[in-house]
Homo-oligomer: A and B are copies of this chain.
Amino acid sequence: MAQILALSPTKPPHRQEPNALAALTALIADDMMAVNEMILQRMSSQVPLIPHLAAHIIASGGKRLRPVLLMACARLCGYQGERHRKLAAAIEFIHTTTLLHDDVVDESDLRRGRASANARFGNQAAILVGDFLYSRAFQLMVEDGSIDVLRILASASSVISEGEVLQLAAKNDCTMSEQAYLEIIRAKTAELFAAACRIGAVVAARPSAEEEALRTFGLNLGIAFQIIDDVLDYDAEQTRLGKALGDDFREGKITLPVILAMHRGPESERAFWQRTMTELKQKEGDLAFAQDTLRRHGALHDCIERARHYGTIARDALGLFPASPIKTALLDTISFTIERRF
């Protein structure tokens, strides 16, 4: 991506932490420790396969981005209590269910550079343990007892699963528009970011303007996050991502880089995308050709530009809140999300 960024004349000259998310996480270190403990505790079951499989995907880490956002937003709102920890664990469980079910649906073998849960434990266990973790999320929310929070997460869950079905139905559809792509990633990814951030204001009992501001922040950060995820799948430096490079290409999952290249390229290239992504007739060298085509059309570069647009909306949404170390770290996290290489 260094090369891509070097091509960008509009790269904003913002100050940026080497890893702003780590800095944000450090500001809520006590919360994170408590949430990690709660996650371990609440994924337990007398059925040994459950914690065994759950540990494989949850305990192995990942960025815990959604719980961090929820708790940081609560602290941004001046929240002093501990309710947000339980809800942060619930959000991570919901997210984990979608990861488990997605990997089965996508027939993925790798997740964060390790064997995916379905590859290691079988599709059947991945489906059912996903269901279990979702029910645990539901229990955590009920224990919290806020019907407002329950409503937000029930609605988010519904939108997420609609987004997943939409993505499945559009799979291998080379004629997908940028708008259709945006609607899918908004539903399947950004909605949970939005719910997480919004809940920060709800637990702090802040006015609806702040709730809406944090929803806007989360939603647009989530869109930017997913666009960049989709860029990284074609980025040459991505062996570090853990995700095998070119997963989306091999599955024929149409993402923004391909949509932009499709619309900018000649007929002959459209035939290439049709053959490789719709008909899934791929041969040696196709991925390299795809990467070269994206580069020629500036597709990855312009995806990052698009992501910056959503990042700007997220940034402005935080304008309502007074300056604080948490706010600075949240702002840095926007940039980090967009400029990250992993």
Once the chains bind, are B104 and A168 in contact (CB under 8 Å)? no
Once the chains bind, are A129 and B49 in contact (CB under 8 Å)? no
* A143-151, A258-266, A319-327: which lies at the interface: A143-151
Once the chains bind, are A155 and B131 in contact (CB under 8 Å)? no
Looking across the interface, which residue of chain B has its beta carbon closest to that of A146? B147
Number of copies: 2
- Which residues on A are within 8 Å of B, measured CB to CB? 45-50, 97-98, 101, 104-105, 123-125, 127-129, 131-132, 134-136, 138-139, 141-142, 145, 147, 150-151, 153-155, 157-158, 160-162, 164-166, 168-169
Once the chains bind, are A127 and B101 in contact (CB under 8 Å)? yes
Task: Using A145-B147, A150-B150, A169-B49 as known contacts, say yes or no to A139 and B158 having CB atoms under 8 A apart.
Answer: yes
Report how far A50 CA is from B164 CA in the complex, Å.
Answer: 11
Once the chains bind, are A101 and B131 in contact (CB under 8 Å)? yes
Once the chains bind, are A124 and B158 in contact (CB under 8 Å)? no
Within the complex, the shortest CB–CB distance from A58 to chain B, in Å, comes to 15
Contacts of A155 in B (CB 8 A): 139
Contact among B123, B132, B150 with A158 in the assembled complex (CB-CB below 8 Å): B132
Report how far A145 CA is from B141 CA in the complex, Å.
Answer: 13
Contact among B101, B124, B147, B154 with A168 in the assembled complex (CB-CB below 8 Å): B124
Task: Using A47-B162, A132-B162, A147-B147 as known contacts, say yes or no to A154 and B138 having CB atoms under 8 A apart.
Answer: yes
Contacts of A153 in B (CB 8 A): 138
Report how far A232 CA is from B291 CA in the complex, Å.
Answer: 57
Within the complex, the shortest CB–CB distance from A254 to chain B, in Å, comes to 16
